[in-house]
């Protein structure tokens, strides 16, 4: 009942065929279903009594048999009410969906449980991806679990250390490309067209998106079968915002929800081809040739899924905005200090975007808003250390500690003692 379909010309392909772009027109593919059959399957199943996780929604996934599912218990991430941030930003309702709580520390695990399960179904022995870091960490872990050979291509010198360590410890073959993410993706696309048995698991692969759409379903469930007015998402290669939107539109088609949220995409100033396309009202994407940002996860100049993302933003009446590196780092600190959530810089761009859009008056302060934070802060500890106050070093004596705390003399001392 599931099939792959070109988003432009509608040509259909079997879910058993390894195909990444439409063979007729070259456009992106997506997985579609006979939704009446899904409705029947849902009625028969006890899906609402399953725990929150990607596989709670397996009737919505293109898998043939539940026995082959490759899982590390992904999904079911925290949905945090952020009352301090609400006050700080001046809005009524804010939740953060914290995807750093996934097994390898990012939302990519939702896509990889599905994508690697598909690889096993297809009988391939080798998987590959290009990555700014998180995709490689996630693929390496799921490939290890499935016993598949894994190769990851990363941009030389521009990947956060936490992510690199994950790909390495899980035993992936790590290849550093002299170039950026776009260059690396370009060559893995060519390689996987040439060698059909090396399965590509970047988000161009429509099965990845099927796993990631569970993020939308979980928000619906965590809001007691409701939806927010707006979802704010960091955008890099543009798969995630497209996936969340796909999940929600499926719930809409099936009659679970009546209103769809405004999808709002945030990019870093130095890597913002989608925002600039939307703001200028252009029909085609103009890639950024030398993307640059402190948020290395979204340091991408030619997002491969731009068409799906632009449709999600425009069809939902949403918007797109850029944030500076300074705004990103400020938002990262704010989230950590006001809400106890430590996220990596790219993730904090959703919070920075929220703040900016509120200041610009583009967000109604009464809206119910969900910000997606996409990856854990420990992925990139160097940034956190660099942007925080340095630790104080003292001798191991009570006097030195009292002196460091200013006890007995200053205002700080009174605060501490009281």
19: Cβ contacts below 8 Å, ≥ 6 apart: 4, 13, 29
Cα diameter, the chain = 78
Q: Work out which of 236, 270, 291, 353 binds ligand F0G, going by CB under 6 A.
A: 236
SS3 367: coil
Q: Compute the least distance from the CB of residue 297 to ligand F0G, in Å.
A: 3
Residue with tokens 């596989």: 55
Q: Compute the least distance from the CB of residue 365 to ligand F0G, in Å.
A: 26
Q: Work out which of 22, 120, 298, 383 binds ligand F0G, going by CB under 6 A.
A: 298
Do the beta carbons of residue 215 and residue 110 sit within 8 Å?
Answer: yes
Q: Give the x-and-dash track for 99-138 against ligand F0G (CB under 6 A).
A: -------x-x----------------------xxxxx---
Q: Give the x-and-dash track for 201-230 against ligand F0G (CB under 6 A).
A: --x---------------------------
Regarding 237 and contact with ligand F0G (CB under 6 A), the answer is: yes
Regarding 139 and contact with ligand F0G (CB under 6 A), the answer is: no
> Taking Cα atoms as reference points, which of 332, 327, 213, 324 lies closest to residue 263?
213
Alpha helices in 178-272 (DSSP H): 181-194, 206-212, 214-222, 239-253
Do the beta carbons of residue 351 and residue 91 sit within 8 Å?
Answer: no
Tokens of 257: 């929800």
Task: Give Cα 204 distance to the centre of its chain.
Answer: 14
Smaller CB distance to ligand F0G: residue 121 or 356?
Answer: 356
Q: Give the x-and-dash track for 143-182 against ligand F0G (CB under 6 A).
A: ----------------------------------------
**Residue 156 to residue 301: CA distance in whole angstroms:** 16
Tokens of 156: 């030389």
Q: Compute the least distance from the CB of residue 310 to ligand F0G, in Å.
A: 12
Q: Work out which of 76, 211, 234, 301 binds ligand F0G, going by CB under 6 A.
A: 234
Sign, Cα dihedral of 95, 241, 263, 332: positive
Q: Compute the least distance from the CB of residue 97 to ligand F0G, in Å.
A: 12
Q: What is the DSSP-derived secondary structure letter of residue 90?
A: T
Smaller CB distance to ligand F0G: residue 32 or 136?
Answer: 136
Q: Compute the least distance from the CB of residue 170 to ligand F0G, in Å.
A: 14
Tokens of 254: 């099936």
Q: Compute the least distance from the CB of residue 68 to ligand F0G, in Å.
A: 25
Smaller CB distance to ligand F0G: residue 77 or 374?
Answer: 374
Query: By CB under 6 A, how many residues form the interface with ligand F0G?
Result: 22
Regarding 293 and contact with ligand F0G (CB under 6 A), the answer is: no
Residue with tokens 């103009």: 286
Q: Work out which of 29, 85, 112, 238 binds ligand F0G, going by CB under 6 A.
A: 238
Smaller CB distance to ligand F0G: residue 251 or 266?
Answer: 266
Regarding 239 and contact with ligand F0G (CB under 6 A), the answer is: yes
Q: Compute the least distance from the CB of residue 343 to ligand F0G, in Å.
A: 8
349: Cβ contacts below 8 Å, ≥ 6 apart: 234, 266, 267, 268, 295, 298, 323, 328, 331
Q: Compute the least distance from the CB of residue 117 to ligand F0G, in Å.
A: 19
Kindly identify the residues of this chain, within the stretch 328-387, that bind ligand F0G according to CB under 6 A: 344, 346-347, 374-375
Residue with tokens 């509608």: 10
Q: Compute the least distance from the CB of residue 156 to ligand F0G, in Å.
A: 14
Cα torsion through 252, 257, 262, 264, rounded to 10:
-80
Sign, Cα dihedral of 293, 297, 301, 305: negative
Sign, Cα dihedral of 20, 117, 36, 56: negative
Residues lying near ligand F0G in the complex (CB under 6 A) are found at: 106, 108, 131-135, 203, 234-240, 297-298, 344, 346-347, 374-375
């Amino acid at each position: 009942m599931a099939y792959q379909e070109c988003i432009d010309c509608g040509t259909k392909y079997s879910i058993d065929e390894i195909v990444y772009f439409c063979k007729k027109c070259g456009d992106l593919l997506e997985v579609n279903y006979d939704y009446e059959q899904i409705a029947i399957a849902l009625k028969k199943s006890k899906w609402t009594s399953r725990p929150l996780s990607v596989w709670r929604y397996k009737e919505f996934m293109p898998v043939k048999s539940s026995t082959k599912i490759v899982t590390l218990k992904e999904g079911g991430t925290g949905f945090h009410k952020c009352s301090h941030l609400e006050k700080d930003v001046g809005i009524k309702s804010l939740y953060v969906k914290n995807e750093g709580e996934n097994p390898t520390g990012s939302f990519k695990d939702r896509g990889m449980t599905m994508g690697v399960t598909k690889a096993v179904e297809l009988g391939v022995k080798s998987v590959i991806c290009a990555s700014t870091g998180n995709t490689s960490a996630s693929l390496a872990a799921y490939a290890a679990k499935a016993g598949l050979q894994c190769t990851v291509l990363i941009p030389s010198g521009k990947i956060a250390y936490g992510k690199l360590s994950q790909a390495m410890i899980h035993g992936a073959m790590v290849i550093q490309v002299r170039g950026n993410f776009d260059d690396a993706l370009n060559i893995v696309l060519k390689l996987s067209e040439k060698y059909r048995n090396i399965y590509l698991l970047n988000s161009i692969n429509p099965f990845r998106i099927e796993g990631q759409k569970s993020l939308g379903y979980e928000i619906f469930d965590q809001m007691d079968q409701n939806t927010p007015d707006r979802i704010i998402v960091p955008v890099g290669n543009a798969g995630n915002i497209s996936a969340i939107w796909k999940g929600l539109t499926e719930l809409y088609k099936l009659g679970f929800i009546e209103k769809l949220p405004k999808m709002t995409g945030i990019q870093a100033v130095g890597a913002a081809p989608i925002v600039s396309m939307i703001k200028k009202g252009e029909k085609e994407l103009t890639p950024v040739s030398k993307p640059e940002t402190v948020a290395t996860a979204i340091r991408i100049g030619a997002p491969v899924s731009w068409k799906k993302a632009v449709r999600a933003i425009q069809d939902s009446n949403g918007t797109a905005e850029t944030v500076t590196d300074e705004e990103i780092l400020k938002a990262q600190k704010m989230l950590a200090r006001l809400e106890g959530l430590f996220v990596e810089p790219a993730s904090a761009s959703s919070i920075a975007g929220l703040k900016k859009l509120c200041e610009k008056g583009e967000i109604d302060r009464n809206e119910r808003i969900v910000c997606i934070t996409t990856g854990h802060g420990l992925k990139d500890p160097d940034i956190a250390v660099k942007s925080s106050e340095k630790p104080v070093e003292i001798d191991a004596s009570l006097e030195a500690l009292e002196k460091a705390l200013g006890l007995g003399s200053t205002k700080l001392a009174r605060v501490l003692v009281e």
